[in-house]
Amino acid sequence: MQSPLRIAIIGQSNFAADVLELLLEKNYNIVGVFTIPNKGTREDILATTAKQYGIPVFKFASWRRKGEVLPEVLQQYKSVQANLNVLPYCSQFIPMEVIDAAHFGSICYHPSILPKHRGASAISWTLIEGDEAAGFSIFWADDGLDTGPLLLQKQCLVEPTDTLDILYKRFLYPEGVKSMAKAVDMVAEGKAPKIPQAEVGASYDAAMFKEQNHYIDFKQTAEGMWNFIRGLDSVPGALAVVVHEDGSEEKIRFFGAHLYTDGPVTGPKSLTLKGLKFPAYIHDRGLLLQGIDGKFVNIRRLKRGSKMINACDWFAECHKSQISNFSKDELDKRDLLANIWHSILKCPIEAETDFFAAGAGSMDVVRLVEECKDALDVPLDNEQVFMAPVFEEFFCEIIRSLRQDSSAVHGRIHYDGFVLQANKREISVPTQLFINGEFLDAEERKTLDVINPANEELLCKVACASHSDIDKAVQAAHKAFYGSWRQVSARQRGQLMLKLADLIEEYKEELATIESVDSGAVYTLALKTHIGMSIDAWRYFAGWCDKIQGNTIPVNPARPNNVLTFTKKEPIGVVGLITPWNYPLMMLSWKMAACIAAGNTCLIKPAQTCPLTALKFAELTVKAGFPPGVINVVPGTGSEAGQAVSDHKLIRKLGFTGSTPIGKEVMRSCANSNLKKCSLELGGKSPLVIFADCDFDKAVKYGVSSVFFNKGENCIAAGRLFVEDRIHDEFVRRVLRDVRSMTIGDPLNRSTAHGPQNHRAHFEKLIEFCRRGINEGAKLVYGGRPVPNTKGYFFQPTIFTDVEDHMFIAQEESFGPIMIISKFHGSDVESVMRRANRTEYGLASGVFTRDISKALQFADNIEAGTVFVNVYNKTDVAAPFGGFKQSGFGKDLGQEALNEYLKTKCVTIEY
């Protein structure tokens, strides 16, 4: 080579810009860049890139007029004295006077294996005709159209998942850029061949930028339709015409097609398409088209006008209300939004301006989303830009979101409910089922009575879910799990949970008031524990969302190959939760926060006696922005709604807290239905052993709270106290003093320490429990009966002593404010431990002693999931919670709780 190359790049787009930069990396001399004029003030990236390197840039709207080269254009081209023209991607017709002016010629990129698929739509036709291989050619430009001699070709197999866009990005673009540089190398080395194109197999295909060529031919096989659709995906989209019931017609475009082999669809709705012999069907995974061979192609996305929608949402979009009545403030936001678009696109913004047609790329989407969040304070994600790329539609989506958010902030989410007037507040409380993001009446408008346990008066009637309602909630959760929830990243999931925790904190006084009136919890305790620990749970598990990970495992490979084995932690799917009445919101949060953090969707059946905080919580999930169907709240009876949850075959995990007898039935139903995973937190009879060498004041304090905390409705309540004989009488005396001073009454009164029991059936059970204790010979020291002359389910704090191991009250759980005290002799430590274990329950336990060896011996030998030493009821959201034996299995709280809602997948790769 006598002189170095002087290269002119003629073209446009990112492809050409990447070729330019690669040639510069190889130290080639780029003497000029020739590209298209600006669109408004937006410059093509090739021009922008060339300017960064100080390369002269020329922008021509046209190179010729009436078939003749424009003299001024030719003169400017010749001014750079190029001896090689490189055309990486060029949409303009370049005259032969320019092509032939370069001494070493002109090399051009074409995205097909020439001579097949000549013309401007080569990639589309590669897919439309079902070619097994795709590729590109770099050829010497001549006076024909893609007919010049070949310099270099590369090809790849066409994958079933390829679309025009995917094929270009996967192979034609990256390999094409590298091959353009390689072609220049070959020219520089004098090794570039000129291989004449064969005429055998040559074809010239119609240009797919003409709308008349976009219409899909329905008179072909399903495979033929699929190939046509993916050949126009993502630009411009295969065109079809919907014929509406009134005879009117509407153009739509198809995207995201695949051959459908998934069996019958459930509940499809038909759609009439012009030219299609058979009805098209909208179902929960898209739009089905039947080919002449009887097979089907499924379409995932549709474009109506300029707006992209999920095909399954066709009928929902048809009924979606249009926005036209904008307020002055909203119109001001329109101007602000137009300014944001203008700053990004650098062109005038009209109602029909298309963000992407105006030249925006992926980074522009990120910028638009972030600037809209800052300027308009609107929740927004990248997907919404792609689904509404036209300015006016995008503006309407912004306003729709702002109106919804404003309604949420001001408590105007639509539901039927009642206004609770209590605690100097007026609180709006939903009373309907919450399914798929909406509050709905139960089937046949069935209801449950919700009674205020403090005065036995009817608070309200709440919707009572039927089998059909449970199925509706499960289907919503199932659809969300495989749809919208999968689009939410782990980190975004955590952000949603944190926002929900913030809302629970913002509404904590309202929630504590509802909890107090609905369940009988003392307000101050509800505020601190019921609501406070709920907030803690959501925040704790939010932090876990993006830290759930598997492991790599060293395994024994089959030499000489290597093996990589790793595990993945994945969500289980739809989870059913059934929670008790003692801590309504806290039990919901303990289970649901871990469930959601793990990536599942769920439905919860709260206790039928106190479902109100769960329904108020449902309202907050909408305000937090959870997608519809992710969280569903379905009050109902255990016999119908609870049983339906246990039996449903789409539920893959059930989390239950309740009594041991019901837990056994739940476990049986889980096995019989679909062998669903279950975790059970059941009854307890937790022993508390108090040695004489304890800190006595502390032992009395915690001994009282271990039993009477939350009026005894506490799953880890100390069901039986073993007190060393040397301190027994003084311990009883001190406990009596504390109990007699305990304030019993209105749970909303700040001085109240002991509120009403939750409901009448439980209230009457406590009366019977005490009667049996007396009849068996235990000594009733205090209480044992309802508070006299008081309306409501108020039961006196009760103390039994001289309780023997064989007695009913020593073996069974009261779940109420009843202290059971037995003596033991301090010389026989092993004996008291055996007595403490002599029960079928094993939820919690406690010991008070200053002797560390005794404490550790107790912790080693006690059969309980939780052991408290010199403290009691000290739970934390980071500490795992769950029992042994007939207290159930599985854990709430802590990292271990996540395992209840995850499945482990093992992947092994040989290489």
Count CB atoms within 10 A of the CB of residue 334.
18
Task: Determine whether the annotation assigns residue 756 to a binding site.
Answer: no
Task: Determine whether the annotation assigns residue 608 to a binding site.
Answer: yes
Task: Determine whether the annotation assigns residue 765 to a binding site.
Answer: yes
Q: Could you tell me if 55 and 32 are in contact, meaning their C-beta atoms sit under 8 angstroms apart?
A: yes
Strand 574-578 versus strand 651-657 pairing type? parallel
Task: Determine whether the annotation assigns residue 605 to a binding site.
Answer: yes
Task: Determine whether the annotation assigns residue 813 to a binding site.
Answer: yes
By three-state DSSP, how is residue 359 classified?
Answer: coil
Q: Which residue has the tokens 């065109």?
A: 239
Task: Determine whether the annotation assigns residue 658 to a binding site.
Answer: yes
The distance of Cα 550 from the centroid of its chain, to the nearest Å, equals 19
Closest to 223 measured CA to CA, from 298, 122, 126: 298
Q: Could you tell me if 624 and 593 are in contact, meaning their C-beta atoms sit under 8 angstroms apart?
A: no
Pair of tokens at residue 327: 């307020």
Task: Determine whether the annotation assigns residue 638 to a binding site.
Answer: yes
Strand 798-801 versus strand 686-690 pairing type? unpaired
Pair of tokens at residue 641: 């709604």
- State the Cα–Cα distance between residues 540 and 708, nearest whole angstrom: 28
Task: Determine whether the annotation assigns residue 606 to a binding site.
Answer: yes
Task: Determine whether the annotation assigns residue 313 to a binding site.
Answer: no
Can you say whether residue 439 is alpha, beta or left, with left for phi > 0 and alpha for psi between -120 and 50 degrees? Answer: beta
Task: Determine whether the annotation assigns residue 40 to a binding site.
Answer: no
Q: Which residues contact 776 (CB under 8 A, 6 or more apart)?
A: 804, 807, 808, 809
Task: Determine whether the annotation assigns residue 146 to a binding site.
Answer: yes
The residues assigned a catalytic role are 110, 681, 715
Task: Determine whether the annotation assigns residue 94 to a binding site.
Answer: yes
- State the Cα–Cα distance between residues 146 and 107, nearest whole angstrom: 11
Amino acid at the residue 555: V
Strand 686-690 versus strand 718-724 pairing type? parallel
Per-residue buried b or exposed e for 229-245, using 16+ beta carbons within 10 Å of the residue's own CB: bbbbbbbbbbbbebeee
Amino acid at the residue 139: F
Task: Determine whether the annotation assigns residue 804 to a binding site.
Answer: no
Length of the chain: 911
- State the Cα–Cα distance between residues 430 and 622, nearest whole angstrom: 13
Handedness of CA 611, 612, 615, 621 (dihedral sign): negative
Task: Determine whether the annotation assigns residue 647 to a binding site.
Answer: no
DSSP 169: I
Closest to 288 measured CA to CA, from 275, 299, 304: 299
Strand 433-435 versus strand 438-440 pairing type? antiparallel
Task: Determine whether the annotation assigns residue 641 to a binding site.
Answer: yes
Burial class (CB in 10 A: 0-12, 13-18, 19+), 154: middle
- State the Cα–Cα distance between residues 413 and 196, nearest whole angstrom: 71
- State the Cα–Cα distance between residues 271 and 393, nearest whole angstrom: 24
- State the Cα–Cα distance between residues 830 and 860, nearest whole angstrom: 12
Task: Determine whether the annotation assigns residue 643 to a binding site.
Answer: yes
Strand 64-65 versus strand 866-869 pairing type? unpaired
- State the Cα–Cα distance between residues 222 and 278, nearest whole angstrom: 12
**From residue 637, how far is each of 68, 278, 722, 759 by CA, in Å?**
85, 46, 38, 14
**From residue 270, how far is each of 249, 258, 292, 479, 642 by CA, in Å?**
16, 19, 18, 20, 35
Q: Which residues contact 669 (CB under 8 A, 6 or more apart)?
A: 643, 646, 647
Q: Could you tell me if 112 and 139 are in contact, meaning their C-beta atoms sit under 8 angstroms apart?
A: no
Q: Residue ranges for the binding site?
A: 92-94, 146, 605-608, 638-643, 658-659, 765, 813-815
Q: Which residues sit in the known binding site for NADP(+)?
A: 605-608, 638-643, 658-659, 765, 813-815
Q: Which residues are annotated as a binding site for (6R)-10-formyltetrahydrofolate?
A: 92-94, 146
